[in-house]
Amino acid sequence: MTITAENPLVRIEGLHKFYGQHHVLRGIDLDVNRGEVSVVIGPSGSGKSTMLRCVNLLETISAGRISVGGKLIGYRDVKGRLHDLKTKEIAAQRREIGMVFQRFNLFPHKTALYNIMEAPVHVKGQSRDAARRRAMELLDRVGLSDHAGHYPSQLSGGQQQRVAIARALAMDPELMLFDEPTSALDPELVGDVLNVMKDLAKSGMTMIVVTHEIGFAREVGDRLTFMDGGVVVESGDPREILANPKHPRTQEFLSRVL
């Protein structure tokens, strides 16, 4: 995939986030082009989840701008001043973005199939038949077509995570965010989830992936960003950064995880 500077799907500019006095994000700039897989790594507490949560409108931002598909996220720009969007408008923006968390957050009392159908039926107003057909397609895509009737408790962690990915895809997002999707899994279950993510990347989905899976970053990533202390320390071609980290903090971090 070619990396061009123009027309990014996601543009994060000068993003700051405070929790009270705690200055967690200290001026993040990050562009993600359409179809690109942007991998983010960094030590615990560096602000990776907070950044994703800002993109997905789960947090308000303290300063800066985030746009997705050229549209400002969370705010309306009126003559250079930002005004909060209404709750309904925020919900509409959030629907365009899929998010997969470390913990799978499936509805425990619903089957895999119903977990996937839920939002298309109740949020998008799709017919149950159409939603069921699409959910079955998605289950097939994540290798679980024979598990449609299983409840989360009857699925392994890796299977639950694949259902969670299918559930996010059912809303046809233009962007998928992954926050350490494999770090709660037993090692032998990680590969299946990464393979689903690889296929998704190949299909052209734009993805921001926070992960400790360096192999995934090297193989699938179009860009690798190393964050520390709420700033982007280094960002560029994954193979280049992993082979030749320029910044001492990147070197130190990679020496611990590689």
Residues of this chain that bind ligand ATP (CB under 6 A): 19, 22, 24, 42, 44-50
Select from 48-56, 66-74, 77-85, 113-121 the region that touches Mg ion (CB under 5 A): 48-56
50: partner contacted, choices ligand ATP, Mg ion, none (Cβ within 5-8 A by kind): ligand ATP
State the nearest-atom distance from the C-beta of 2 to ligand ATP, in Å.
29
Minimum Å distance from CB 41 to Mg ion? 11
Kindly state whether residue 49 participates in binding Mg ion, applying the rule CB under 5 A: yes
DSSP string, 99-142: EE-SS----TTS-HHHHHHHHHHHTS---HHHHHHHHHHHHHHT
Q: Which residues contact 108 (CB under 8 A, 6 or more apart)?
A: 151, 152, 153
Q: Does 211 sit near Mg ion (CB under 5 A)? A: no
56 binds Mg ion (CB under 5 A): no
**Least Cβ distance, residue 207 to ligand ATP (angstroms):** 17
Contact status, residue 57 vs residue 73, Cβ threshold 8 Å: yes
Choose from Mg ion, ligand ATP, none: what does 47 bind? Cβ within 5-8 Å by kind: ligand ATP
Residue 127 token pair: 């017919």
Return the one option of ligand ATP, Mg ion, none that residue 45 interacts with (CB less than 5 to 8 A, by type).
Answer: ligand ATP
| Consecutive H or E run containing 163 | helix 157-169
Residue 49 or 111 with smaller CB distance to Mg ion: 49
- Min dist CB 76 to ligand ATP, Å, is 25
Q: Rounded to an integer, what distance in angstroms lies between the CA atom of residue 112 and that of residue 160?
A: 8
Query: Shortest Cβ distance from residue 138 to Mg ion (Å)?
Result: 26
The residue among 45 and 215 lying less far from ligand ATP, judged by its C-beta, is: 45
The smaller minimum CB distance to ligand ATP, of residues 75 and 253, is found at 253
- SS percent in the chain: helix, strand, coil, step 5: 40, 30, 35
Pairing of strands 37-41, 223-228: parallel
Closer Cβ to ligand ATP, 16 or 141, answer by number: 16
- Shortest Å distance, C-beta 179 to Mg ion: 6
Using the minimum distance from each CB to Mg ion, give the nearer residue, 49 or 206: 49
Sole residue written with tokens 């925020």: 90
Cα–Cα distance, 198 to 201 (Å, whole number): 5
Q: How far is the CB of 223 from ligand ATP (least distance, A)?
A: 18
Paired tokens of 168: 């996010």
Piece in contact with Mg ion (CB under 5 A), picked from 33-41, 43-51, 153-161, 192-200: 43-51
| C-alpha closest to that of 242 among 230, 258, 256 | 258
Alpha-carbon distance of 258 to 256, in angstroms, equals: 6
Report which residue type is found at 80. Answer: G
Positions that interact with Mg ion (CB under 5 A): 49
